[in-house]
Amino acid sequence: MSDARLYDTLRKVFGFRAFRPNQEQVVRAILASQDVFAVMPTGGGKSLCYQLPAVLLPGTCIVISPLIALMKDQVDGARANGIRAAFLNSSLLSDDREAVMRDLLSNSLDLLYVAPERFTLDHFREILGRVKISMAVIDEAHCISEWGHDFRPDYLSLSALVKLFPGLPVAAFTATATHRVQQDILDKLALRNPLVVRASFDRPNLGYDVRFKDNPEAQLVSLLKSNPGKAGIIYRTSRKSVSDTAAMLQAKGFRALPYHAGLSDADRKSNQEAFIRDEADVIVATIAFGMGIDKSNIRFVIHADLPKSIENYYQETGRAGRDGEPAQCTLLFAQSDIPKVRFYIDSMPDDTERARALGALTKVIAFAGNSVCRRRTLLDYFGESYPHSNCNSCDICLGTREVVDCTREAQMLLSAMVRTEERFGAMHIVDIVMGSDNKKIRDFGHDRLKTFGVGKEHEKKYWRQLIDDLLAQKVIEKSEGLYPTLFLLPKAVQLLKGEERIEIVRIQEKKKAKAPLLKSDVSSSPYNQELFDLLRTLRKQIADEGGIPPYVVFSDRTLHDMAAQYPRTAETMLTVSGVGEVKLERYGRQFLRLIDRFCSDRLHSPSP
């Protein structure tokens, strides 16, 4: 394949003048009929790695993906670039399935997305034997590994791909895989002398922030108010908390919708479509169920509950900023979240699975509770070293770390536990040291304890955080059960006797001038916000008319470039990132007219 044809197709079809890191290496390997296994982070441009060869090679590229909802997004995006793409899954009506099969059998498709369940059918494999296939792609390849965070038994059938297509390249992609998972995938797929690419897991455009979970409803409202009109996802653990959170946000005027497995198929699809089409700003979703969407302009992800593993957290936060523009990831964490996850884990019947889940939970708790750079901790988990001492975009690196001696306050809490015979939970102990006047305190006579009211100078949030720190440092422990009580560990006795001291790391936020230095994956010039808003409105109109998501027309990154460069001719519009010849022909003229009108109005408007 000549360089000229490769780069010409990259520019004309996808609107890019250069490859992102690792893309060209993967594309050239596939074009040379070599198998590929690539671990590339979300937003790293995995789809281009197989869509570009699919355009250049004769035949149909078969893409096996577990996410039915994502298939339509990917097909819409490919078609917007002029690629002949389709999908086959259970969401299609029989007439639509037959139309796709006709296109497949007539070799009229560049790309066909299918679910792994369909690939296992003998009938479907027999049909593939009558079609010219260019290559096979496995998306979300971590699903084949029992060590992965989302193992799916149907994926094990994909080990037959290299035998089914002996002379064709097979490429497997995933955004999340430890070295152990990577080796397991390679072993199961039995790829033939594959090119193995392990891209950096660093997402420099994402900021990470872990906050003490105090009043989650108020915290969520505050976070949404700081992101007005921006698209975001809030993850909750249970269906009930998803519904309650969505209803609360709606009552406060936010365009928020729920998304979980308990909703009807119609409601779930309707809510997802509203979010994808920018008709809702926020989706509240269960962590376990996931989203399976390809929306590129998500500007924030909030975990209002503790994720089950680092892989889950990384993948879910990775749904933000897929367009390379800055996005923020916030985790609300308190020790009280741990028993909820433990209850789920303890109910697992398989000892090995239970031990594995507990190990994963321990790593998440360590991530949330330590005082090390969040980015460094994430990269360490995936076996990658972060080369910088300060990432300038997580709460640890942006905060002033202060070590505070909390021995005296810890003794107050421990004394209250001893004097109540270690029979009460965290909130009751906090009420004692704060001198709260409530019926439970009076009924037990705890208002007559020496420790009653000794900690009035601090807020309730302070004492709750201190209890979390004492739990994390193994000074105290929490009992199992529906109403857990606090009890002392050996270190607590030494603290009470004055033989030990305890220090707590407190992170103080810097002034607003020290905001996160979030980086786009490609540096962009400052853009005109007024023009961007007008372009965004036009994009929504075009998308609604075409029945596609707005980001399929043009990404936020592309609109930012337009609002920075003010292209007024077809030639200059083609220099904007993400504008290829097909998109120029379909949509570009309308954007050119708007930009020309905007510039002319500003040029001829009277001076203020």
Q: Where are the alpha helices (DSSP H) in 297-385?
A: 310-317, 338-346, 351-369, 374-381
pLDDT level of residue 288 (50, 70, 90 thresholds): low
Q: In this predicted structure, what is the pLDDT of residue 593?
A: 95
pLDDT level of residue 471 (50, 70, 90 thresholds): confident
Q: Are 213 and 333 in contact (CB under 8 A)?
A: yes
Q: 376 and 291 share a domain?
A: yes
Q: 84 and 29 share a domain?
A: yes
Report the run of H or E that residue 431 belongs to, with start and end: helix 426-434
Backbone angles phi, psi at 523, to 5 degrees: -65, 135
3-state class (DSSP) for residue 293: coil
Q: Are 384 and 200 in contact (CB under 8 A)?
A: yes
Q: 420 and 565 share a domain?
A: no
Report how far residue 334's alpha carbon sits from residue 426's, in angstroms, rounded to the nearest whole number: 12
The percentage of the chain sitting over the pLDDT mark of 90, rounded to a whole number, equals 55
- The sign of the dihedral angle between the CA atoms of 265, 267, 271, 273 is positive
Residue 440 lies in a domain: yes
For position 266, which CATH number holds? 3.40.50.300
Residue 521 lies in a domain: no
pTM here is 0.79
Residue 399 lies in a domain: no
Tokens found for residue 165 = 């297509």
Distance of CA 372 to the CA centre of its chain: 21
Angle at 36 between CA 30 and CA 39, to 5 degrees: 125
Q: Are 112 and 63 in contact (CB under 8 A)?
A: yes
Domain extent at residue 561: 529-604
Is the model's pLDDT at 204 over the cut of 80? yes
Q: 213 and 194 share a domain?
A: no
Q: What is the mean pLDDT of residues 29-35?
A: 96
Q: In this predicted structure, what is the pLDDT of residue 56?
A: 96
Is the model's pLDDT at 434 over the cut of 60? yes
Q: 330 and 463 share a domain?
A: no
Report how far residue 147's alpha carbon sits from residue 144's, in angstroms, rounded to the nearest whole number: 9
- Which pairs from 150-155 meet CB under 8 Å and 24+ separation? 150/66, 152/66, 152/116, 154/66, 154/116, 154/117, 154/120, 155/66, 155/116
pLDDT level of residue 510 (50, 70, 90 thresholds): very low
Of 240 and 177, the one with more pLDDT = 240
Q: In this predicted structure, what is the pLDDT of residue 505?
A: 67
pLDDT level of residue 209 (50, 70, 90 thresholds): very high
Residue 374 lies in a domain: yes
Q: 190 and 211 share a domain?
A: no
Report how far residue 491's alpha carbon sits from residue 340's, in angstroms, rounded to the nearest whole number: 26
Report how far residue 278's alpha carbon sits from residue 295's, in angstroms, rounded to the nearest whole number: 10
Q: Are 520 and 205 in contact (CB under 8 A)?
A: yes
Residue 522 lies in a domain: no
**Final residue in a domain of this structure, among 394, 419, 441:** 394
* Choice among 55-64, 98-107, 269-278 with the minimum mean pLDDT: 269-278
The percentage of the chain sitting over the pLDDT mark of 70, rounded to a whole number, equals 93
Q: In this predicted structure, what is the pLDDT of residue 298?
A: 93
For position 598, which CATH number holds? 1.10.150.80
Q: Are 397 and 390 in contact (CB under 8 A)?
A: yes
Full DSSP string of 51-112? HHHHHHSSSEEEEE-S-HHHHHHHHHHHHHTT--EEEESTTS-HHHHHHHHHHHHTT--SEE
Of 335 and 130, the one with more pLDDT = 130
- Which pairs from 365-370 meet CB under 8 Å and 24+ separation? 365/306, 365/338, 365/472, 367/210, 367/310, 367/313, 368/210, 368/306, 368/331, 368/333, 369/333, 369/468, 369/472
Is the model's pLDDT at 312 over the cut of 90? no
**Final residue in a domain of this structure, among 145, 177, 198:** 198
Angle at 424 between CA 420 and CA 425, to 5 degrees: 140
Q: 408 and 276 share a domain?
A: no
**Strands 282-286, 256-259: parallel, antiparallel or unpaired by DSSP?**
parallel
Report how far residue 285's alpha carbon sits from residue 280's, in angstroms, rounded to the nearest whole number: 13
Q: In this predicted structure, what is the pLDDT of residue 608?
A: 39
Residue 572 lies in a domain: yes
Q: 497 and 533 share a domain?
A: no
Q: 349 and 390 share a domain?
A: yes
For position 440, which CATH number holds? 1.10.10.10
Report how far residue 492's alpha carbon sits from residue 215's, in angstroms, rounded to the nearest whole number: 28
Q: How many domains does the chain have?
A: 4
Q: 143 and 42 share a domain?
A: yes
Report how far residue 238's alpha carbon sits from residue 241's, in angstroms, rounded to the nearest whole number: 5
Is the model's pLDDT at 148 over the cut of 90? no
Q: In this predicted structure, what is the pLDDT of residue 509?
A: 45
Is the model's pLDDT at 37 over the cut of 50? yes
Burial class (CB in 10 A: 0-12, 13-18, 19+), 143: buried
Q: Where are the alpha helices (DSSP H) in 81-215?
A: 94-105, 116-119, 122-128, 161-164, 179-189
Q: 250 and 387 share a domain?
A: yes
Residue 27 lies in a domain: yes
For 273, which DSSP code?
H
Q: 256 and 381 share a domain?
A: yes
pLDDT (tens digit per residue) in 321-371: 988 889 999 999 987 788 778 888 888 888 888 888 888 888 998 888 777
Say what the alpha-carbon torsion angle 380, 383, 384, 389 is, to the nearest 10 degrees.
Answer: 30
Q: What is the mean pLDDT of residues 62-69?
A: 84
**Final residue in a domain of this structure, among 349, 364, 394:** 394
Say what the alpha-carbon torsion angle 295, 72, 175, 55 is, to the nearest 10 degrees.
Answer: -110
Question: Which amino acid, residue 590?
Answer: Q
Report how far residue 271's alpha carbon sits from residue 265's, in angstroms, rounded to the nearest whole number: 10
Q: In this predicted structure, what is the pLDDT of residue 603?
A: 63
Residue 105 lies in a domain: yes
